[in-house]
């Protein structure tokens, strides 16, 4: 059996949109920190001017630039979802066309440079052959998925650098916060995104990563608390049962209930 992966013990709900009850598609982050799929949010925003109420907490949220893309896409949530999907593909031993040998085989790895799956043999070739040496850092294999060592940091490093959304031949060093976190290159700062709130892409993604990592840790802690609470309740229950049994036997209460134990 596969070992638990870092996020497997996190409730599925964390990755679920509360409108369509499915895994997030293009998750948009609202100021109240609730997330919804872009396609789910679109009909709700229709006809709303300037503000709208969050479907979950009913908070009045400002619609940045009065359009859905004014809301940030949660890129880290997106990459975690991609990871979960890959994990499912590996664990279900799904048969896909391998990008290396073009055969339909069980896939055990994914190359973020090739943007495709690899079979066991082609994965080995991918990790040893000099021709694709620059792909080595961008491969996610079944064994990585099974380990506990995979962090958001590592996951982010697997992916290729972001490209400018206008000039796809250039790397995006900047991120336009005015346009909902669009990746932009330096040239764009003189053009389409002149005067916009531009931030270093590395900084923005690091901040988001830290925020999400904290949320994940909170969830794990919450789960631990619930488990220990259940343990306590079970203990108290067992004590009560034995007291009741004692009382029945002796006709009086022989065991003192110790509060707080």
CA dist 22 → 40, 52, 78, 114 (Å): 11, 23, 13, 28
Could you identify the residue written with the tokens 């346009």? Answer: 179
Residue 186 makes CB contacts below 8 A (sequence gap 6+) with: 170, 173, 174
Contacts of 202 (CB under 8 A, 6+ apart): none
40 near Zn ion (CB under 5 A): yes
Question: Any contact of residue 180 with Zn ion (CB under 5 A)?
Answer: no
201 scored as a contact of Zn ion (CB under 5 A)? no
Stretch that binds Zn ion, among 79-87, 120-128, 225-233, 248-256 (CB under 5 A): 120-128
DSSP state of 88: H
CB 62 within 8 A of CB 50: yes
User: Binding marks (x or -) toward Zn ion, 15..34, rule CB under 5 A?
Assistant: --x-xx-----------x-x
Q: How many residues bind Zn ion (CB under 5 A)?
A: 31
Q: Does 257 bind Zn ion (CB under 5 A)?
A: no
- As measured in angstroms, the least distance from the Cβ of 214 to Zn ion is 18
114: Cα within 13 Å, side-chain hemisphere: 24
Nearer to Zn ion, 168 or 234 (CB): 168
Binding residues for Zn ion, rule: CB under 5 A, are 17, 19-20, 32, 34, 37, 40, 54, 56-57, 59, 98, 100-101, 111, 113-114, 119, 122, 135, 164, 166-167, 176, 178-179, 185, 187-188, 193, 196
């Amino acid at each position: 059996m596969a070992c638990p992966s870092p996020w497997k013990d996190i409730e599925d709900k964390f990755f679920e949109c509360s409108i369509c009850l499915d895994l997030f598609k293009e998750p948009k982050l609202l100021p109240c920190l609730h997330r919804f799929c872009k396609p789910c949010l679109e009909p709700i925003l229709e006809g709303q001017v300037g503000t709208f109420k969050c479907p979950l907490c009913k908070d009045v949220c400002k619609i940045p630039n009065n359009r859905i893309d004014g809301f940030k896409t949660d890129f880290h949530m997106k990459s975690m979802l991609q990871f979960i999907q890959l994990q499912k593909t590996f664990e279900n031993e799904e048969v896909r066309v391998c990008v290396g040998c073009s055969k339909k085989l069980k896939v055990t790895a994914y190359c973020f440079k090739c943007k495709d799956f690899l079979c066991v043999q082609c994965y080995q070739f991918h990790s040893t052959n000099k021709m694709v040496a620059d792909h080595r850092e961008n491969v996610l294999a079944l064994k990585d998925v099974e380990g506990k060592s995979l962090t958001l940091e590592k996951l982010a490093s697997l992916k290729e650098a972001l490209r400018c959304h206008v000039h796809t031949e250039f790397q995006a060093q900047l991120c336009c916060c005015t346009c909902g976190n669009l990746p932009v290159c330096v040239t764009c700062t003189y053009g389409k995104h002149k005067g916009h709130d531009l931030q270093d892409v590395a900084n923005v993604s690091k901040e988001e990563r830290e925020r999400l990592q904290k949320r994940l840790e909170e969830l794990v802690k919450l789960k631990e608390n619930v488990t220990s609470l259940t343990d306590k309740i079970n203990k108290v229950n067992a004590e009560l049962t034995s007291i009741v049994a004692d009382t029945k036997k002796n006709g009086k209460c022989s065991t003192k209930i110790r509060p707080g134990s």
